[in-house]
Amino acid sequence: MKKSSILILIIICLCSCGKSSKKVSITGEIKGLGTDTLYLYGMDESFDRIDTIFAKNDKFSYTASIDTITSAFLLIDNQTEYPIFLDKGNQIKIKGDVNHPEYLDINGNIYNEEFTNFQKELNSLPTPSEKDLEQKAEEFIMKHHSSFVSLYLLDKYFVQKDSPDFNKIKKLIEIMTGILQDKLYIEQLNEAISLSEKTGTGKYAPFFSLSNIKGEKITRSSEDFKKKNLLINFWASWGDSISNHQSNTELKEIYQKYKKNKHIAMLGISLDIDKQEWQDAIKRDTLNWEQVCDFGGLNSEVAKQYAIKQVPSNILLSADGKTLAKNLKGEQLKKKIEEVVTAAEEKEKQDNKKKK
C-alpha cells in the first residue's frame, strides 16, 4: 500500500513538473506605469496571439504556457514596442522607467540579456546615425549566429527599410545557424528576396489584372497605360496615417503636373481588405488617378508578385514594362519622373525627325 502511494506521488510530481516546465513567467516594475495596460504579442508563428497584462502601482505579472522559445513584443504605455524573448521554464524580470523605455533591463534568459546589453551599447553612442546603428546590428549578427536577437535586429535594421539591401540581407541570413534557419520568417524572407530579384531594376514587371472602382478589369496593357511609363503606388487605408498623407501629397503633385502628359500614367493598387474602406479612402483623399484592388491585403497575389511587404510603396515602370526604380520618395521621385518623361519626349522628337 505504501509502495503504491509513493508511486502515485512520484507520478503526480512528474506530471506537475512537466506542466510547470512549459510555463514562462514575467514579473516587472516600470516606474511611472501606474495602472496602465500592457500588451504582449508574438513576432512569429509560435506565439500568434495578443495577451493583455494589467499593471498596478507600477508592477505587473504574467504567466503563460509555451512549447518552444519564441520572440514577442511588449507594448508599453500604448506606444513603445520592446522585444522580449520567452522560453518554457523562464522567469523573466523587467525593470525600467516608462519615460525611458530604451533603458529597460530585461533578464531571465541569454537572449534578453544579449539584447539588453546591445541596447546599452547603442544608448552609449552620442548621436548615432542610421549607418552607425546598422553597423552595430551587423556586428552583433556576425558574432551571434544562432541568437534570436539576431533575427530581430535583421528585421529592424535591414528588412524594415524603404529600399532594403537584399544582397546584404542574404549574406546575413546565410551565416545564421540552428533553429533560426527553420523559422517561418526566414522562409518567407527568402521567398520575398527571390521575388524582389525577379522584379528588380531592369527586370520585366509581373502581369496583373485587377478591378477598378467601377468593376472594370485593369491590366498593364490597358488603353490608358499603353506605351507609357507607369508609376504604381501600393497603398492601403489601414496604413500609417502620416506615411499615407506624405505619399498622397507627393502623388497628387505629380498627378497634377503630368495628368495630361502622354508619356506617363499613374495607378494606385490598394492592399485593402474591406471594399467600403477602400472606396471611402479614395474619396476622402481625392485620389483621382486610376485605382484598383483585389481585397487580399498583403497576402494578395499582386503584393506577392511585386514583393510588397509594406505600404506605401511604389514602382516606376518603363513604357515596355521594365522596372526603372522602386520606392523613391520626395525630390528623388519627382526628379526620376522628370528624367523619364524628358527622355521619352526627346525620343519622340528624334523619331518624328526620322519620319520627315
Residues 6+ apart with CB under 8 A from 338: none
pLDDT score at 198? 73
Per-residue pLDDT of 118-137, as tens digits, reads 999 999 999 999 999 999 99
Asked if the domains 20-107 and 209-355 are classified in one and the same CATH topology, the answer is no
Task: Give 31's strand partners.
Answer: 97
Q: What is the pLDDT of residues 1-49, one digit of tens each?
A: 445 555 444 444 444 444 446 899 999 999 999 999 999 988 777 777 8
Give the tens place of pLDDT for each residue, 298-310.
Answer: 889 999 888 888 8
Enter the DSSP assignment of 263: T
Say if residues 236 and 291 touch (Cβ distance below 8 Å): no
Confirm if 134 and 156 have CB atoms less than 8 A apart: no
**38 contacts 49 by C-beta, under 8 angstroms:** no
19 burial via Cβ count (<10 Å: 0-12, 13-18, 19+): exposed
- Residue carrying the nine cell digits 481588405: 273
Q: Write out residues in the chain with pLDDT < 50, as ranges.
A: 1-2, 7-20
Q: What is the pTM of this model?
A: 0.62
- Does 128 sit behind a cis peptide bond, omega within 30 degrees of 0 on the bond before it? no
Which 3 state secondary structure label does DSSP give 250? helix
Picking from 206, 196, 258, the residue whose alpha carbon sits closest to that of residue 229 is: 258
Give first-to-last CA distance, the chain, whole Å: 112
**CA contacts within 13 A on the Cβ side of 148:** 20
Indicate the class that CATH gives domain 20-107: mainly beta
* Residue 140 grid coordinates: 552583433
- Nearest alpha-carbon partner for 206 in 223, 230, 185, 184: 230
Mean predicted lDDT score pLDDT of the chain: 89
- The topology (CATH level 3) of 209-355 is Glutaredoxin (3.40.30)
Residue position matching grid coordinates 517561418: 184
Residue boundaries of the structural domains of the chain? 20-107, 130-198, 209-355
